[in-house]
Chains A and B, each alone.
Chain A
Amino acid sequence: METKQTAQINDDLLRPLFRTTWRFYCGAIVCGAVVAAAMAAFGYQVWNGIGVWGIDRPVFWAFDITNFVFWIGISHAGTLISAILRLANATWRRPVTRCAEVITVFALSIGGMFPVVHLGRPWLAFWLFPYRSEREIWPQFRSPLMWDFFAIGTYLTGSITFLLLPIIPDWALVRDKAAGWRKRMYGMLALGWRGTPRQWHRLESAMHIMAVAIIPVAVSVHTIVSWDFAMAPVPMWHSTIFGPYFVAGAIFSGIAGLILAMAILRKLLHLEEYLLPVHFDNLGKLLLMMSLLWFYFVFAERLTTWYGNEASEMAVFWQTQRGGFAPLFWAMVVCNFVIPFPLLAIKKLRTISGTVIASATIVVGMWLERFLIIVPSLSHKYLPYAWGTYRPTWVEITLTAGTFAAMGLFYLLFAKFVPIISVWELKAGMRAAPAVPSPLPARTRSLPLTAGPRTAVPRTADAGLGATDD
């Protein structure tokens, strides 16, 4: 690759780190204000008690667990795009992987807060840690809530590792381009990275192992989250479909979240030459597939319930189909399928704007889906005299808004300190391999890290269109 082209890529992708525009300040102030409001609402809740929420007998879980499940679901974007496509050697993923991995880490962090937020005494959250209390009691390992602790902890550790490892060479790049305090800061963050063959080989080996490891962890995390519900004898919860249903829904909402993040970044940071229409097209196809899969799972779950005709389950069923929750249910169907399906299935409509509109409706629809899994079932359990209703208060609404603002704020700050597109991976993907790979030196028998010589991927609108590394 020409040095001039390398210099252009460096300038384009490092510009947000060295120059701050009014858009950054506006976004940070707006998101920061909403986050501050959410923190104030949380403080109000801690001071006055959980009674300031709308939850009451029998609906003890509502917005809190909806947000928990929703954000854990959004986190699956990174795993799918980065890990699965890395293992599949899909070249087009390269500009997109870091955007996706960042979503995973921040979404997990936000979602993982809610088991603490929803405690009546959040300062006792350390009781979840596996240690022996003063009464010699260990945590209850047979509880799905403890499984959540281990699963989310493992996934968060793995996701942070998966995000930070490939950033090290880019921090070395910034170190070389920066001056003053930035040079010192990125010098520390780069950990002395130089780019020797041994370092590259070890890094790529580690990324490969992490990609293989993180996929089953991601599947297990959302399966375990689903078991918070499926293990309970609550109407329409105690179902074996919950595991795969939740995983599919998580990937579905994750891809939608990723598309939205990419579209915003493309506009704000002027990354039109790197986040190409083909990336949105490919992600749109994945989103279409997940939309169909989501519809299949919902249909299978509802058909099973309707066909079984068990009284308690039918009470919940009709509440969502025709009763008090019907508007939300049909809004969910419209948002998750009716609007996205034509936008994603018809090639002419599967543009950047089309995929963004579809993704926005899907994010709304998936939040509604989590709500509709939780609240209708809890409000209509087995004993009719114990049926109840739920209405959120300003505290819960503010906390929910705060999570979206927090995601925006974390993303803005991240893009300010780290190149949001992986510079070295992008350059490596754009380079043509030699016509005849160099022979191995004598007495060396290692396998190549990739399947074979890559073809050049030009920086045009056609870049990566269906291309793979094979």
Chain B
Amino acid sequence: MIAIYGLYPDPDSAERALDSLRGARAELGFAPRDIAVISSEPFEGYGFSRGVDERDHKTIMPWLAALGGALGGFTGLEFATLTQNAYPLATGGMPLAPLWTNGIITYELTMLGAILTTLVTLAVSAGLPNPRAKLYDPEVSDGNILVGVIDPSDRSRPALSKLLLDAGAAKVREFPPRF
């Protein structure tokens, strides 16, 4: 993977860069998904924080968490009820499988199911862990915002560099860096 990107010191210039890239993509021959934005904090309220298409800011994570919770709760209820009936122990005049007490186990495993599902969904949808080298610049940690294009064509690189500079980039670089 190769890329050309600019480092922007403030979100307004990063926003301009993204708008310019969107406007020029037909001419320079790259798809919307080839535009990359990387930042060290979520810049809510800015267009670039929403990513380049729908998939960047829409998720079914809450629904999956609810499903995980439902599965956990069902598991808890069945587990408690089936085991209590498998080895019946009379306790203090209570029924073998009282809903009052089994409800507590059910509730806890419902919440555990939701929590674990959220964790797994985050890992999968955010692409973590990711050991492969992908576009990144350590100067992002200093507050700069990276806006660039992945796998641009050779003929479009000069125009891209100029476009990124004109939008206010403090630096324009290539990834991986050429030594």
Within 8 A of A (CB), among B27-66: 36-59, 61-62, 65
- Tell me the minimal C-beta distance from B120 to chain A in angstroms: 10
Residue numbers in B under 8 Å from A3 (CB-CB): 9, 142-144
Residue numbers in B under 8 Å from A141 (CB-CB): 80, 83-84, 101-102, 105
Residue numbers in A under 8 Å from B141 (CB-CB): 10, 172-173, 176-177
Question: When the two chains form their complex, are residues B94 and A428 in contact, meaning their CB atoms are under 8 A apart?
Answer: no
Q: How far is the CA of A3 from the CA of B43 in the complex (A)?
A: 15
Question: Is A397 among interface residues, defined by CB-CB distance under 8 A?
Answer: no
Q: How far is the CA of A194 from the CA of B140 in the complex (A)?
A: 9
Q: How far is the CA of A291 from the CA of B7 in the complex (A)?
A: 51
Residue numbers in B under 8 Å from A165 (CB-CB): 119, 122
A138, A192, A203, A216: the one within 8 Å of B83 (CB): A138
Q: How far is the CA of A138 from the CA of B141 in the complex (A)?
A: 52
Question: Is A440 among interface residues, defined by CB-CB distance under 8 A?
Answer: yes
Question: When the two chains form their complex, are residues A158 and B134 in contact, meaning their CB atoms are under 8 A apart?
Answer: no
Number of residue pairs spanning A and B whose beta carbons lie under 8 angstroms apart: 222
Question: Is B70 among interface residues, defined by CB-CB distance under 8 A?
Answer: no
Name the CB-closest residue of A to B134: A194
Residue numbers in B under 8 Å from A448 (CB-CB): 44
Binds B, one of A148-156, A295-303, A381-389: A148-156
Question: Is B109 among interface residues, defined by CB-CB distance under 8 A?
Answer: yes
Question: When the two chains form their complex, are residues A206 and B112 in contact, meaning their CB atoms are under 8 A apart?
Answer: no
Question: Is A168 among interface residues, defined by CB-CB distance under 8 A?
Answer: yes
Residue numbers in A under 8 Å from B84 (CB-CB): 138, 141-142
Within 8 A of A (CB), among B64-112: 65, 76, 79-80, 83-84, 86-87, 89, 91-92, 94, 98, 101-102, 104-105, 107-109, 111-112
Name the CB-closest residue of A to B60: A205
Question: When the two chains form their complex, are residues B130 and A192 in contact, meaning their CB atoms are under 8 A apart?
Answer: yes
Known contacts A195-B40, A434-B12; is-contact A213 B47 (Cβ 8 Å): no
- Tell me the minimal C-beta distance from A428 to chain B in angstroms: 5
Question: When the two chains form their complex, are residues A197 and B65 in contact, meaning their CB atoms are under 8 A apart?
Answer: no
Question: Is A427 among interface residues, defined by CB-CB distance under 8 A?
Answer: yes
Question: When the two chains form their complex, are residues A427 and B122 in contact, meaning their CB atoms are under 8 A apart?
Answer: no
Known contacts A191-B130, A196-B36, A197-B51; is-contact A136 B87 (Cβ 8 Å): yes
- Tell me the minimal C-beta distance from A459 to chain B in angstroms: 15
Residue numbers in A under 8 Å from B39 (CB-CB): 195, 200
Known contacts A217-B111, A449-B44, A453-B45; is-contact A201 B89 (Cβ 8 Å): no
Question: When the two chains form their complex, are residues A201 and B56 in contact, meaning their CB atoms are under 8 A apart?
Answer: yes
Question: When the two chains form their complex, are residues A192 and B128 in contact, meaning their CB atoms are under 8 A apart?
Answer: yes
B15, B56, B108: the one within 8 Å of A151 (CB): B108
- Tell me the minimal C-beta distance from B125 to chain A in angstroms: 5
Known contacts A176-B140, A196-B38; is-contact A201 B51 (Cβ 8 Å): yes
Question: When the two chains form their complex, are residues A194 and B38 in contact, meaning their CB atoms are under 8 A apart?
Answer: yes
Question: When the two chains form their complex, are residues A209 and B114 in contact, meaning their CB atoms are under 8 A apart?
Answer: yes
Known contacts A142-B98, A165-B122, A177-B141; is-contact A153 B112 (Cβ 8 Å): yes
Q: How far is the CA of A151 from the CA of B107 in the complex (A)?
A: 9
- Tell me the minimal C-beta distance from B123 to chain A in angstroms: 8
Known pairs A1-B143, A154-B109, A206-B119; list 12 more (Cβ under 8 Å).
Answer: A141-B101, A141-B102, A142-B84, A146-B105, A147-B105, A161-B118, A192-B127, A197-B56, A198-B125, A437-B46, A438-B45, A444-B57
Nearest 10 CB-CB pairs, A to B? A192-B130, A438-B47, A6-B143, A197-B51, A433-B45, A191-B129, A138-B83, A176-B141, A176-B138, A200-B42
Task: Return 12 A-B CB contacts under 8 Å, by A number.
Answer: A7-B142, A138-B83, A142-B101, A147-B101, A191-B128, A197-B52, A200-B39, A210-B115, A213-B111, A214-B115, A444-B50, A448-B44
Measured CB to CB, the residues of A under 8 A from B are 1-3, 5-7, 10, 130, 132, 136-138, 140-142, 146-147, 150-151, 153-154, 157-158, 161, 165, 168-169, 172-173, 176-177, 191-206, 209-210, 213-214, 216-217, 220, 224, 424, 427-428, 431, 433-434, 437-441, 443-444, 446, 448-450, 453-454
